[in-house]
Amino acid sequence: MKLFVLTFLLLAAVFIHSINSQQYVVGCYFTNWAQHRQGLGRFLPSHIDPSLCTHLYYAFANIDITNRSPSPFEVNDVKPSPSTSPVIVNDVVKPGSNGRLNGQLKPPIKQPPPMSMYEQFNILKHKNPQMKTLLSLGGASVNATQFRTIFEPDKIRRDFIRNTIKYLRNYKFDGLDLDWEFPETESDRRIFSLLVRDYRLEFQNEAFLTDRSRLLLTAAVAAYRPKIEAGYDIKEIAPYLDYINLMAYDYHGSWNTHTGFNSPLYARSSEKGDKRLLNQQATVDTWIDGGCSPSKLVLGLGMYGRTFKLKQKKNPDTKPYGPSKGAGLPGNYTASNGFLSYYEICELIKKQKWHTEYDKEQQVPYAYKDDQWVSFDNQESIEKKCHYVASKRLAGAMIWSLDFDDFNGAFCGQGKYPLLTTVKKTLDSLQGPTTPIRIHKTTQTTITNHGYLYNYSFFLLLINFIFPIFIYHLI
Ligand SMILES: *[C@@H]1O[C@H](CO)[C@@H](O)[C@H](O)[C@H]1NC(C)=O
Ligand SMILES: *[C@@H]1O[C@H](CO)[C@@H](O)[C@H](O)[C@H]1NC(C)=O
């Protein structure tokens, strides 16, 4: 009898543990300019598979200084456009049936009215109701002057934040992702802390007043330690942000005079000084050492490669960190020097027999042919990085970006979204990070989790050990 009761209590404890073990975050960036690529490279909201992402980011929205509001970059962000709306194809009528099915004329299929891209993006939540959508503000084409103008003066910042809330609610986003690339002066750092704090407080306020779920607040941030130290007061911003998306890529590229890895997981034993900071582990350590809880950190994964032209045309040095002179040739779809999407790399490996190697020390692959050299990520390196996410108890991983993976499954022979699927499968197979139970809605107004963590640990201790022993002795 005693044994039975004890077993029951232990099972109950395990159950409580498991319901509290949270899913890992899989953040997916959608880019609104990938619609302009040709053929199989063209990417529209209808290409997104909402079952693979927990958070979906729409990149990017602009800053409209005159109206103190976020604003669209692309006309069809907000205006319906037939050319980018999903097309419902009529069922093919079998030959000889004269358009009749069972003797009845088939009812005409109504084409849904064209939708804006925001709309198409946000109705993806119908297919995955747990998924959250966020609008990413900024990106590389919004400059620091625009951020400073809108966020430095208190009054303008307040207006912009209020208009952001209207904009997000109007277009049915669940949150905002700040993509200032990058705050760099002491004044920028102060402005960034202020804007993060004010956004969070206004989001809480609005949720309280309107009885809606609070809008989420995230930021995409720098990866290189000197840039992090210049741009962010980690301890001040981390508590206000739901997640911090680490742009943990672009560590090396054609701007160097040697080849190098776009997104190595670890440093190389031969690296010295600041070179040892050019990897994902160094980035994660910097944010954690700076006072950020690992449970806020989301590791960025690049679905693309950085390319180089090797220095010697004849018998080039193909080893990593060998001499290079500039960018590799552009891809047929992404069309920019020094850069190739994962699917374009697959095509080169398969069709043009590029030679692939895997660097065990830094946990990334590279490929080359003649004087062309590319560093990228494949399923193997992505899996390794997801295990790293779990080992460091990070919140999860994000990808930049959906349109660089083999989303059609047409190039790599690994099915649709081979890299993103690897992220999802690997993280789902690992025990998620545990979070405090949120007992009441008002806990939302508390900024830090630490108090709850403490109470919760005590609760677990009670359930797991003290309570069973107590009962055991009682019966
Ligand atoms: C920043 O962007 C704005 C709007 O695109 C432009 O008018 C301005 O000249 C840019 N400023 C700098 C310093 O590049
Ligand atoms: C682009 O397409 C052409 C013709 O099909 C091919 O020869 C070339 O290698 C391709 N380039 C890349 C980078 O895939």
Per-residue pLDDT of the chain (475 residues; tens, 9 = 90+): 555 555 555 555 545 544 556 899 999 999 999 999 999 999 999 999 999 999 999 999 999 999 999 999 999 999 998 878 775 554 443 444 444 444 455 555 667 789 999 999 999 999 999 999 999 999 999 999 999 999 999 999 999 999 999 999 999 999 999 999 999 999 999 999 999 999 999 999 999 999 999 999 999 999 999 999 999 999 999 999 999 999 999 999 999 999 999 999 999 999 999 999 999 999 999 999 999 999 999 999 999 999 999 999 999 999 999 999 999 999 999 999 999 999 999 999 999 999 999 999 999 999 999 999 999 999 999 999 999 999 999 999 999 999 999 999 999 999 999 999 999 999 999 977 755 444 333 333 334 333 333 344 444 445 555 555 555 565 5
Q: Is the CB of 356 under 6 A from ligand 2?
A: no
Tell me which amino acid residue 291 is. G
Helix, strand, or coil (residue 59): strand
**Structure-token pair, residue 2:** 């005693």
Residue 84: per-residue pLDDT: 80
Distance between CA 409 and CA 423 in Å, rounded? Answer: 16
User: Looking at ligand 1, which residue's alpha carbon is closest to its atom 7?
Assistant: 146
Burial class (CB in 10 A: 0-12, 13-18, 19+), 439: exposed
The closest-lying atom of ligand 2 relative to the alpha carbon of residue 340 is 13
The closest-lying atom of ligand 2 relative to the alpha carbon of residue 347 is 14
Q: What is the pTM of this model?
A: 0.86
Q: Which of 143, 148, 181 to mutate to test the pocket of ligand 1 (most atoms within 8 A of CB)?
A: 143
Distance (angstroms) between ligand 2 centre and the Cα of 347 equals 8
Helix, strand, or coil (residue 17): helix
Q: Annotate 322-369 with DSSP letters as a single string.
A: -BB-SPPPPPTTT--TTEEEHHHHHHHHHHS--EEEEETTTTEEEEEE
User: Looking at ligand 1, which residue's alpha carbon is closest to its atom 2?
Assistant: 143
Burial class (CB in 10 A: 0-12, 13-18, 19+), 39: exposed
Distance between CA 109 and CA 102 in Å, rounded? Answer: 17
- Residue 398, strand partner residues: 27, 300
Distance (angstroms) between ligand 2 centre and the Cα of 398 equals 29
Distance (angstroms) between ligand 2 centre and the Cα of 98 equals 44
The closest-lying atom of ligand 2 relative to the alpha carbon of residue 331 is 13
The closest-lying atom of ligand 2 relative to the alpha carbon of residue 329 is 13
Biggest alpha carbon–alpha carbon distance for the chain: 83
Instruction: Check if the beta carbon of residue 306 is closer than 8 Å to that of residue 339.
Output: yes
**Catalytic status, residue 184:** no
Helix, strand, or coil (residue 179): strand
Q: Quick count: other Cβ atoms within 10 Å of Cβ 64?
A: 16
**Structure-token pair, residue 344:** 């374009």
Q: How far is CA 127 from CA 53, 57, 135, 418, in A?
A: 11, 16, 19, 21
The number of residues making up the chain comes to 475
Q: Which of 71, 142, 145 to mutate to test the pocket of ligand 1 (most atoms within 8 A of CB)?
A: 145
From the candidates 74, 181, 347, 383, give the one annotated as an active-site residue. 181
Distance (angstroms) between ligand 2 centre and the Cα of 351 equals 9
Give domain 22-86+116-302+378-474's CATH superfamily. Answer: Glycosidases (3.20.20.80)
Distance (angstroms) between ligand 1 centre and the Cα of 145 equals 7
Residues lining ligand 1, Cβ inside 6 A = 143, 145-146
The closest-lying atom of ligand 2 relative to the alpha carbon of residue 330 is 13
Instruction: Check if the beta carbon of residue 263 is closer than 8 Å to that of residue 244.
Output: no
Q: Quick count: other Cβ atoms within 10 Å of Cβ 5?
A: 14
Instruction: Check if the beta carbon of residue 473 is closer than 8 Å to that of residue 11.
Output: no
Distance (angstroms) between ligand 1 centre and the Cα of 68 equals 16
Burial class (CB in 10 A: 0-12, 13-18, 19+), 141: exposed
The closest-lying atom of ligand 2 relative to the alpha carbon of residue 351 is 9
Q: Which of 329, 332, 376 to mutate to test the pocket of ligand 2 (most atoms within 8 A of CB)?
A: 332
Task: Point out the ligand nearest to the CA of residue 332.
Answer: 2
Q: Is the CB of 331 under 6 A from ligand 2?
A: yes
Distance between CA 189 and CA 377 in Å, rounded? Answer: 32
Q: Provide CB contacts within 8 A for 61, sequence distance 6+.
A: 70, 71, 72, 73, 77, 135, 136, 137, 138, 167
Task: Point out the ligand nearest to the CA of residue 149.
Answer: 1
**Structure-token pair, residue 49:** 């598979």
Q: Is the CB of 348 under 6 A from ligand 2?
A: yes
Instruction: Check if the beta carbon of residue 248 is closer than 8 Å to that of residue 271.
Output: no
Q: Where are the beta strands (DSSP E) in 232-332?
A: 243-246, 297-302, 304-309
